[in-house]
Structures are given as structure tokens and as C-alpha cells.
Amino acid sequence: MNFDFPLIMFIAILITGIIWGLDYAFGVPARKKKAEALEGSGGSDKAVKKLRQEPVLVEYARAFFPVILIVFILRSFLVEPFRIPSGSMLPGLLPGDFILVNKFAYGVRLPIVNNKIFDLGEVKRGDVVVFRYPRDPSVNYIKRLVGLPGDKIVYKNRRLTINGILMDLVAKDGFDFEETLGGVSSYHRFLENLAGVEHDIIHTSLTNNDEALEITVPAGHYFVMGDNRDRSNDSRYWGFVPDANLVGKAFYIWFSWDMAAIEDWFPARIRWNRVGDTIK
């Protein structure tokens, strides 16, 4: 089951805010009046103090409301954390990486309804983007943006051609990765130059059995691919990403957890060498 976290936070803000507001408007004056009446009739200081105390529910609402509101604003308009669940973006992003996404990189959107209210940055080819999966918007995906609106994309023999220009590809040393479910997978690694954006991609083999893909990206949409080209569920299989589905640009790894090292203690499973890396 997928939870709409922004909606849950918004509901929590409403509930805590209403409780706090109603108490401020009606509860505080009522308690003050009762306490003053008791004090005037000679009641003990302890009894008067008890009458002035706010209910536990109100106390929690007052404490949590500003915290939830601040987190909601930060996540909605500035930066949102995500966790990488799979290896579709190997070798740059590993399963267990915790990343930060710039929410205003491509414009400011209203939370929950996700309507863009104004543009800020420009969507660029080569960006690593988080977006809502077109077939199930409750699920977030992360891929590399390969095609912009109007681009003519050809993917043939594991090579990308964009608008008639073949993207440079340079072979590098192999890449071995310990899979989450056990075993080590070996990949062929290449440095791809995506119209000026250099990044590593990997293939499971050098044999091509796929038919050539030739498409034109429609207006208001984008074509995305995983850097793990042979093990990525991306635009080659389910189509384009509407601009309205963009969540933001991934830019930073703030924590990394080795999901395969299940026998190690907690500190040993942290990939300290990845913490603080920028995403290219």
C-alpha cells in the first residue's frame, strides 16, 4: 500500500491547528474564568494552577503543529528526501542510498494537487530526476532525463542517437555489484556523454537482441532511462513522463545503507564513502 505522505501531513496540520485554535479561542478563556473564580473564593494555589492547565491533547497539538508545518513546507517547496530502492540507476546510485531532491529546480508546485504556479529552473538533458510514475502517480521513480520535448530519439545496438547525433560512449573498467538478494553481478561499464553531461552507464552483456527504438518526444513530456540500461523499467517500456509529473532534481546523497550486508552490525552497513556525494 502506498501512502500519500503530503496529504497525511496536511491532514495532521489541519487537525493539530484546529485543536490548538479552538482551545485558544474558547478553552483558554474558559479555564481562566474558572481559575479566577476559584481563586476569588479562596481556593488553593494547587487547585487554581490545575484549572489553568491545558488538556494533554491540546498540549500535544500545540507542540506538533509548528513542527509538522515546517516539515511540510520544506518537503513541499524546497527539499525532499527519498530512498533508492533498486539498482536501475547503477552504478551512480546504489540501492540503500538516501538522497535529497531539489523541489524548486523546475518550478514551484502546490502540494497535494501538484499544480505548477510558476517556473524557476529549466529542465535539462542529463538531469537525474524524480517523478511520479505515469501509470501509478502514487509511486515515485528516479531516472536520467534523456529526451526533451521535440527530440528525436533512436536507441539501437545499446547506443543513443538524439536529433541525429550519436552520443559518445567510451568503455571503462568493469563494474561488480553485490546484489541485495545475494550473489555478485558483473557489468560492462561505459562513460556516456549525453550532449555534454558525462556519466557512467552499465550493461549486463554486449550482445544486442532488442529491436531499434525510434520515437519523437511529444510536447510537454520527457523521455527517461535508467543508467543500468539492461535492468531498468523506463520510457522504453511505458512511455513518456508528463511535465506535471516531475517532482524535482536529485542532487545529493546524505546517507547510504548497504542493503546486502545483512550479517553486519549497524555501523558496518553504512557506506561512509558515499555520504556527502553529489549526484551527477
- Choosing from 88, 232, 235, 256, the catalytic residue is 88
191 and 170 Cβ atoms separated by less than 8 Å = yes
Collapse the DSSP code of 145 into the 3-class scheme (helix H, G, I; strand E, B; otherwise coil) and give the result.
Answer: strand
Q: What are phi and psi of 141, to 5 degrees?
A: -115, 160
Strand partners of residue 249: 102, 129
User: Rounded to whole angstroms, how far apart are CA atoms 104 and 161?
Assistant: 30
Question: What residues form DSSP beta bridges with 117?
Answer: none
CB contact at 8 A, 236 and 154: no
Q: Is 103 a catalytic residue?
A: no
Catalytic, out of 76, 103, 143, 232? 143
Cβ atoms of residues 147 and 162 within 8 Å: yes
Catalytic residue list contains 34: no
Pairing mode, if any, of strands 197-203 and 184-194?
A: antiparallel
Catalytic sites, residue numbers? 88, 143
